[in-house]
Amino acid sequence: MAVNVGLIGAGVMGTDHARFLTTSVGGARVAAVSDPDTGRAREVADGSGGAVIDDPVDLIGDDRVDAVVIASPDPTHKPLTLACLAAGKPVLCEKPLATSSGDCLEIIDAEASTGRRLIQIGFMRRFDPGYVAMKTALAAGDLGAALIFHCVHRNATAASYTTSENLIANTAVHEFDIARWLLDDEAERVTVVSPRASSLGGMKDPQIILLHMTAGSVVDAEIFVNAQYGYDVRAELVCEHGTVSLTPPNDIQLRHAAREGFGHPEDWRPRFAAAYRDELQAWIASVKGGPPAGASAWDGYAATAIAEAGLASLASGATASVDLQPRPALYHSP
């Protein structure tokens, strides 16, 4: 029997989730859509066969909805996730889990009181074939211990409302999560360094973010949201006996006018399409009774706590400590 999914948010991410659930994910259907823009909600619902429910809380409580995807603006994530927990319904919440670590801890307490994991966070890179292969190579042991994890995260252009703080709180959180997952380790200190700012965007862009991990490895992440040429994510893991790197996917190789090159996507969606699809499929499997999949509420909290330390370092110019609370027993198993 198909899982009836309620979708909250019919913007770019919500529309993509609806498309994947309708065309590429087995065992699921979009049963209802909610968005303040009723025209947009209707368009997504019509394309997926679902109903439109204006109030997202009503959608969560509707008997036609078995599980919920939250793809609405960041400040709505906490109250809507709590509503899902109160209704006892599994939820896939896009990052961030909440806009502060304190709010994340409130959600964790609420989930822990249910005695089971109902929340998955949309850190889709954990399902990207390249990152999965990197983790597999490290786990095999031939490379030895991890020493340095180099990361590059570049966007073509940033939205007009983007601030220097957004590079840490909204963009680099993907690097924070994938580093924790890949290295199976926590960050204990964060240092943010900025070169001369680009003439585009009027903010501290690019930024270099250093994570000092508890086991001794270092993560460096270049975050550049006005790189102009396209969307580009790279990673290289340097270990004691070798390295392992992502091989960037390229749809075409172009030879023209005595030049040769590869194309770059304009944004993240083509680059991580397979990851989004596999993330949703794993979530649906967990809703049907399989083991919990993907990033947990604890992982969402950890990424937000690292971001808060990064923001402190950005403001002060000094290294900032990451203050993580003890992990509840619910989150000790995968």
Do residues 174 and 306 share a domain? yes
10 part of a folded domain: yes
Give yes or no for residue 202 having a pLDDT over 90: no
- Identify the pLDDT of residue 257: 86
Mean pLDDT in residue range 96-102:
97
223 part of a folded domain: yes
Do residues 117 and 52 share a domain? yes
- Is residue 162 very low, low, confident or very high in pLDDT (cuts 50, 70, 90)? very high
319 part of a folded domain: no
Q: Which helix (H) or strand (E) holds 150?
A: strand 146-154
7 part of a folded domain: yes
Q: Which of 227, 196, 190, 205 is nearest to 313 (CA)?
A: 190
Mean pLDDT in residue range 298-311:
98
CATH code of the domain containing 77? 3.40.50.720
- Identify the pLDDT of residue 334: 52
Mean pLDDT in residue range 103-113:
97
E strand residue ranges, the chain = 3-8, 28-34, 51-52, 67-70, 91-93, 119-121, 146-154, 187-193, 207-213, 218-224, 232-239, 242-245, 253-256, 259-262, 320-321
Domain that holds residue 194: 126-267+302-314
320 part of a folded domain: no
150 part of a folded domain: yes
Do residues 78 and 169 share a domain? no
Do residues 191 and 245 share a domain? yes
Mean pLDDT in residue range 99-119:
97
Residue that the structure tokens 């949201």 belong to: 225
Mean pLDDT in residue range 242-268:
83
How far apart (Å, rounded) are the C-alpha atoms in residues 30 and 50? 5
User: By mean pLDDT, which of 106-115, 245-254, 288-297 is the weakest?
Assistant: 245-254
Q: Which of 16, 112, 117, 7 is nearest to 51 (CA)?
A: 7
- Work out how many domains the chain is built from and give that number: 2
Mean pLDDT in residue range 283-295:
96
Q: Which of 73, 118, 75 is nearest to 100 (CA)?
A: 75
Packing angle of the helix pair 12-23, 38-48 (nearest 10 deg): 10
Mean pLDDT in residue range 190-217:
93
Do residues 176 and 209 share a domain? yes
Do residues 138 and 115 share a domain? no
Q: Tokens for 205?
A: 């862009």
- Is residue 274 very low, low, confident or very high in pLDDT (cuts 50, 70, 90)? very high
CB 72 within 8 A of CB 95: no
Do residues 151 and 119 share a domain? no
- Identify the pLDDT of residue 269: 84
| Amino acid at residue number 147 | L
15 part of a folded domain: yes
Do residues 133 and 250 share a domain? yes
* pTM, entire model: 0.94
Mean pLDDT in residue range 274-292:
97
- Is residue 231 very low, low, confident or very high in pLDDT (cuts 50, 70, 90)? very high
CATH code of the domain containing 153? 3.30.360.10
- Is residue 66 very low, low, confident or very high in pLDDT (cuts 50, 70, 90)? very high
Give yes or no for residue 30 having a pLDDT over 70: yes
CB 213 within 8 A of CB 183: yes
Do residues 148 and 260 share a domain? yes
Do residues 139 and 255 share a domain? yes
Mean pLDDT in residue range 58-65:
97
Do residues 72 and 119 share a domain? yes
Mean pLDDT estimate for the chain: 95
Q: Which helix (H) or strand (E) holds 107?
A: helix 101-114
* Pairing of the two strands 3-8 and 67-70: parallel
44 part of a folded domain: yes
Q: Which residue has the higher pLDDT, 85 or 202?
A: 85
Do residues 230 and 118 share a domain? no
